[in-house]
């Protein structure tokens, strides 16, 4: 499957994307949908609210024709046999995203979107009113969690290795810490009763790209004047999308963000250098390279 991010939705002509979709399975993460919804009410200089909504709605309309994946944490829990341990609301995000996309496409204006009502599987209801503001608030929470996780990771690495600057981390360091993180996650699942002869491989297959993306991007961060690691919150979507990638499957992450492409390529090169007998099959491609490889 080919996972496209927000930059592809906004930057790649729809006709090119759907031409490729006749040959490839193109999918999108719920996180990409939340990111696009955050901007639904934004108005650029010189635009009327109606013009702005029509332009934003065009991105949402494109999403209506693309397969939506489960939340990445739900996907991971299913992959390793830990569904019972996951937050059950993570498994609701795909249907919620589909419903929201359909209702926005059907609504002629943003005020009409405000009148819509979402009905959950449980029968509970929720208003669509101010959906962009609410999407921003929810995404801010996810971003803060992501930033906190990366900072905690860096503190553990710094305290145990003596490395003072993330830029000093070498490939050998990344592999060492990756191995420790994967092993710790496997042991955590075993402690919670998740058992399988192939558990370590399942963890690697579903979490490797995410973990090493974090480590690869970590090497590019610097400390703020107050000593706290500076982390772009926009990395959140890219990091979580990486969790959709299955290391040993023919999955492709397509991104117009050069930093994302570079970080993930470093991650895959690292795996192939250390596990040459079981090479990674997943790939990362920039938008132009993707069009050249699979376009008509």
Q: Mean pLDDT over residues 239-246, rounded? A: 92
**Cβ-defined contacts of 77-83 (< 8 Å, 24+):** 79/202, 79/205, 79/206, 79/246, 80/189, 80/194, 80/196, 80/199, 80/202, 80/203, 80/206, 81/194, 81/196, 81/199, 81/202, 82/189, 82/192, 82/194
Q: What is the mean pLDDT of the chain?
A: 89
Rounded to an integer, the average pLDDT of 215-232 is: 83
d(C-alpha 113, C-alpha 131), whole Å: 8
224 pLDDT above the threshold of 80: no
For residue 166, pLDDT beyond 90: no
pLDDT at 221 over 80: yes
Contact residues for 29 (Cβ-Cβ < 8 A; gap 6+): 3, 5, 68, 69, 71, 72, 237, 240, 241, 244
Instruction: Please state the rounded mean pLDDT for residues 225-249.
Output: 87
Output the pLDDT for position 293.
92
Task: Return the pLDDT at 22.
Answer: 92
In total, how many domains does the chain have?
1
* pLDDT value at 67 more than 90: yes
Higher pLDDT, 156 or 24: 24
Percent above pLDDT 70 for the chain: 99
> What percentage of the chain carries pLDDT values higher than 90?
42
Highest-scoring range by mean pLDDT, 16-30, 44-58, 159-173 = 16-30
pLDDT higher than 80, residue 251: yes
Q: Which domain holds residue 93?
A: 2-294
Which residues fall within 8 angstroms of residue 58, CB to CB, at 6 or more apart? none
Q: Inform me whether the pLDDT recorded for 121 exceeds 80.
A: no
Specify the 3-state DSSP secondary structure of 271. Answer: helix
- pLDDT band at residue 50, thresholds of 50, 70 and 90? confident
Give mean pLDDT, residues 47-53.
87
The mean pLDDT value for 267-295 works out to 92
286 contacts 258 by C-beta, under 8 angstroms = yes
The answer on pLDDT for 21 being more than 90 is: yes
Contacts 24+ apart (CB under 8 A), 12-15: 12/256, 12/287, 12/291, 14/62
How far apart are the C-alpha atoms of 190 and 188, rounded to whole Å?
5
pTM: 0.90
């Amino acid at each position: 499957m080919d996972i496209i991010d927000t930059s592809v939705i906004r930057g790649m002509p729809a006709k090119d994307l759907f031409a490729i979709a006749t040959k490839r399975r193109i999918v999108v993460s719920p996180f990409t949908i939340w990111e696009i919804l955050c901007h639904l009410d934004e108005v650029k200089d010189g635009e009327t609210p109606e013009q702005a909504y029509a332009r934003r709605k065009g991105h949402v309309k494109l999403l209506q024709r693309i397969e939506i994946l489960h939340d990445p944490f739900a996907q991971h829990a299913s992959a390793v046999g830990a569904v019972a341990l996951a937050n059950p609301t993570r498994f609701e995000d795909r249907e919620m995203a589909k419903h929201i996309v359909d209702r926005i496409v059907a609504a002629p204006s943003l005020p009409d979107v405000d009148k819509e009502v979402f009905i959950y599987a449980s029968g509970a209801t929720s208003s669509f009113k101010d959906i962009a503001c609410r999407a921003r608030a929810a995404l801010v929470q996810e971003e803060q969690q992501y930033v906190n996780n990366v900072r905690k990771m860096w503190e553990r690495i710094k305290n145990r290795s003596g490395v003072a600057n993330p830029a000093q981390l070498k490939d050998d360091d990344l592999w060492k810490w990756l191995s420790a993180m994967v092993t710790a996650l496997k042991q955590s699942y075993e402690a919670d009763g998740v058992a399988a002869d192939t558990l370590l491989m399942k963890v690697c297959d579903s979490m490797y790209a995410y973990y090493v993306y974090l480590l690869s991007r970590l090497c590019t961060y610097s400390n703020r004047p107050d000593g706290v690691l500076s982390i772009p919150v926009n990395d959140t979507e890219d990091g979580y999308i990486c969790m959709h990638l299955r290391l040993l499957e023919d999955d492709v992450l397509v991104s117009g963000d050069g930093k994302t492409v570079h970080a993930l390529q470093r991650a895959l090169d690292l795996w192939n250098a250390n596990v040459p007998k079981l090479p990674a099959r997943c790939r990362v491609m920039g938008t132009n390279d993707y069009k050249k490889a699979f376009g008509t």
